Chain A
Amino acid sequence: MNNLLTISGSPHIHTTDSVRKIMYSVIFAMIPAMLVSVYFFGLDAVRIIGVSVVACVAVEYLIQKYLLKGDVTINDGSAVITGVLLAFNVPANLPTWIIIIGAIFAIAIAKMAFGGLGKNPFNPALVGRVFLLISFPAQMTTWPIPKPLFAKSVTDALTGATPLGLLKDGHLANKTIDQIMSDPAMPDYIQQLVGFQTGSLGEMSAIALLIGAAYMFYKKVITWHIPVSYLLTALLFAAIFWLIDPTYYADPLFHLITGGMILGVFYMATDMVTSPMSAKGQIIFGIGCGLLTMIIRFWGSYPEGVSFAILIMNAFTPLINKSFKPKRFGV
């Protein structure tokens, strides 16, 4: 025995899982959606994702190294996730300087100002996105028409509205739901599932997002509680109103596969840091997110409500954590 024995409290063995592995699993899960966005938007998608990720990591590095003068933890991958999610939430034609501002805001204000990883009350990517949406409404709501690689341009139009935007505009123009849905710019459900629709980078293809989500389930990075309660609530809420007035409200399936629903449900509402901890709390959180999303979509002035809904529920997370304790043994 040449070395000193180590003394520590039990347990003496530890899982091989680490924060880094969890974060890299999430990044890996986002790859299909990234590939889809590159397929539809080409170099623009590469530019947005690249700039966003580099900016997020750089801001975190600079703050940790020069402002906090502490350990630099950029290799844990959390800043990369924020970067990718931020990129997923903006249109592909966004000017580079705007995405950099968004990244700075997301990391510096929404994350590091609260103490860094694990201490931010709001999802940094969503904060960045909402900040940009409010600051640059024009740029943030002008979506380019997807131009698939190797495919001839179908239409000459360069920009267009998202399906949800079309729905909102239609309502404002007092059109019935059938009229709105028969708009030539409105993609059908199959197109929406695969990704032939107008929208932010990451919301293109529901299928690509679901593949990634399945991987996260497999890796046990996310649990079923939030996604299932969120989706069921949104579906149920949409279904009730659709049944009441099918001429005004779009059907629940439309709400499910369009917009940022899938992205928000599986990738942003499930963010470990900003969602409740107990199973019960997570279900309450999901229900709240689902209700708020649909309320904003139906009666809000914005066509899309996922970001706002999740951010609002993020604010309730500490309260939910306090009120909904896990099931105790022997009580």
Chain B
Amino acid sequence: MDNIILNAVIALSGIGVTAAVVLYFVAQKFKVIEDPRIDVVEAILPGANCGGCGFAGCRAFAEAIVAAGNLDNLNCPVGGNTAMAEIAKVLGLEAEEKEPLIAVLRCNGSLTNAKPKVKYDGPLTCAFAHNLYSGESGCPFGCLGLGDCVDSCKFDALYMDKATGLPVVIQDNCVACNACVKACPRGIFELRPKGKKDRRIYVGCINEEKGAPAKKNCEVACIGCGKCVKECQFDAITLINNLAYIDPYKCKLCRKCALVCPTNSIHELNFPPRKEKLVEKVDAPTEPAPVATEG
């Protein structure tokens, strides 16, 4: 009996010591010398691994920053200016102050604005539906309403509004990680500056068809009439392929374009209500079409 115990103890100890020695040498042999600053930078980053920076994860981003030695073209949208400033301080670099961005849905083809003409019966993924056909409303540019963007969002910043059939951006949660922009097979989402007091003006449509066919599918489509382009005093609006686009960096948020838009496809967010006088002066449509609200 004693013998068995003794043998077991000796055998196990022997195995343990051998393994320890092997492990030690292996660890020496395969030692990876890493810049300790990578760990520091990684600790500052939010750790969401969302890929919004364009790298595989926060670690990869930290490695890239340390390797690059400057902060040009490197930005963590989630951590924002505070995180980037802190990283800059640690590495002794200069961080450029960047305007915070937010995802914006450039489609208002809700179930009422763009009435469904067919029924879709298949897997609930936009990627497949986009390959299959033009969409329930017939608009080949508009939102398919199957929520690939919602699935892609890691920050609970998107949800599907059942009443409109469109995704809604929750402003406080959105970190502009770009995931929804990449997930949407039609490229409807755009990252735009958050704007002063969160006020934003944008064209809620990416339909490049001519006026008549666009309007046939959706009441609030941009028909490329160019009225907003003429109205804008700051050259912020361009018209390419029958589609108006408002440059957020030139736009002064005067809201005049929204008033002249005949289809109400220009959206204004978080503005105080208009003074009545102004509304009367410009011949605005009596009943503005419902605009996607943002929480």
Contacts and interface: CB of A to CB of B under 8 A. Distances in A.
A157 interface: no
B121 interface: yes
A8 to B, nearest CB: 4
Interface string A1-41: 00011111100000000000000000000000000000000
Contacts of B132: 7-9
B212 interface: no
B234 interface: no
A7 B116 contact: no
B118 A8 contact: no
Contacts of B120: 6-8
Interface string B124-136: 0000100011001
A7 B132 CA distance: 9
B117 A8 contact: no
Given A9-B128, A9-B132, A4 B122 contact: no
Which range contains the number of B residues in contact with the other chain? 10 to 19
Interface string A192-214: 00000000000000000000000
B250 interface: no
Contact of A4 (B116, B128, B133): B116
Contacts of A8: 120-122, 132
Nearest to B123: A9
Interface in B252-277: none
Interface in B66-120: 116-120
B120 to A, nearest CB: 5
A214 B29 CA distance: 64
Q: Would you list the 5 A-B pairs with minimal beta carbon distance, nearest first?
A: A8-B121, A8-B122, A4-B119, A5-B118, A6-B119
Interface of A: 4-9
Given A4-B119, A9-B122, 17 more contacts: A4-B116, A4-B118, A5-B118, A5-B119, A6-B118, A6-B119, A6-B120, A6-B121, A7-B118, A7-B119, A7-B122, A7-B132, A7-B133, A7-B136, A8-B121, A8-B122, A9-B132
